[in-house]
Amino acid sequence: MILTVTLNTALDVTHRVPRLLPHASHRVTGVAERPGGKGLNVARVLAALGHPVTATGFAGGPSGALVRELLADTPGVTDALLACAGTTRRTLAVVDEATGDTTQFNEPGPQISAAEWTAFQARYAELLTGARAVALCGSLPPGVPVGAYAVLVRAARAAGVPVLLDTGGEALRRGVAARPEIIKPNAAELAELTGSRDPLPATRDARRRGARAVVTSLGPDGLLAATPEGTWQATPPHRLAGNPTGAGDSAVAGLLSALTEGLDWPARLTRATALSAATVHAPVAGEFDPRTYEEVRGSVKVTPL
C-alpha cells in the first residue's frame, strides 16, 4: 500500500455562486463536503488509480468525525487517522461560476498536544512496515514541532520506504535536509526555500539541499523536475479553465503511483501533469476528470533541459 500523511486534515466545503462580488450577499447554487487536507486529496486520487492507500494524520471533534464518515465511503482508502482532542479545521472554497476562479479560506487547525504527537509517531512507525511509499503533505497544525516532517522523513528512510514531501516554509526547509526521495514545492514555496525566483536554477539548488529529486509545480505551465537521471519540463498541450484546487495534490498522486510502478521519470511526469490538468476539470479537490486525463496524457510534452 501507499501511505499518505495529513497532519492537518480538514473538512473541505465548496460553495458555488453565479458570481463572487465583494460586500454582497450571494445565493449558493451548490455545496460539496469532502475529506480534505493535501494528503487526503492525494489518497483519493491514488485510490481512483487503483492503488491501495492508507491515510493517517489527526482528526477530532464534529468536523473530524464527518471527515472519517466521508472517508469510509471512499473505496480503496483505509482510515488510520489518530483521534485528537481538538477539532479538525474546515476549509471553505467559493467557486465563481462566471469566471471559474476559486477563493479559499483555510482555518489553522487543532492544537496538538505533546502526547498526541508522540502517539502519532508510534502509529506512523507501525504503518511504515507495510508501505511501499509515503506522502507527507500539507501544513502543520498548532503544537506539532516545525521539524516534524524531518523526523518523519528520517523514520521512512530508516525503514527503507521512499518518501515524497509536499509542504512549504520552515517545515520544508528542515524536511529537505533529512533527504526525502522527492519534494514537490510550487513556485512560491521553491522561491522561499532557495531565494531564487528563476525556477530552473532554484529547482537544482533545492536538490543540493538534500532531496534526491525536486518536482516544481508551475501552475498551468506544467512541472519542472531535477532528478538524478536528468532535468525535464513537462507541459500540457494547452491551458485548461476550471478549478485548480487540488491540482498539485493530483500531481503528487501521479508521481507516487508511477514511482511504485517502476516507471521512468518522463513517464512519471507525464502522468503527474495529466492528472493535475484533469483535476482542473473536476468539481472538487481529490478528484479528476477521466476523459480529460486520457486526452491530456497522450499530448503532454516532456522536454529535457
CA-closest candidate to residue 42, choices 134, 109, 106 = 134
CB-neighbour burial class of residue 138 (10 A; exposed 0-12, middle 13-18, buried 19+): buried
Burial class (CB in 10 A: 0-12, 13-18, 19+), 122: exposed
Residue 133 in contact with residue 105, Cβ under 8 Å? Answer: no
Q: Which three cell numbers stand for residue 53?
A: 492507500
| pLDDT value of residue 291 | 86
Q: How far apart are CA 65 and CA 203, in angstroms?
A: 39
Cα dihedral sign, 132-136-141-143: positive
What pLDDT does 100 receive? Answer: 77
Active site residues: 249
Residues of the chain with pLDDT under 70: 240-243, 283, 285
Q: Any residues with CB less than 8 A from the CB of 252 and at least 6 apart, and which?
A: 38, 42, 135, 137, 164, 166, 184, 272
State the pTM of this model: 0.93
The span from the CA of 94 to the CA of 16, in Å, is 6
Q: Which residue has the cell 524536511?
A: 175
112 Cβ contact list (under 8 Å, min separation 6): 7, 58, 84, 86, 141, 142, 143, 144
Residue 241 is predicted with a pLDDT of 66
Host H or E run for residue 66: helix 61-71
Coil, helix or strand at residue 158: helix
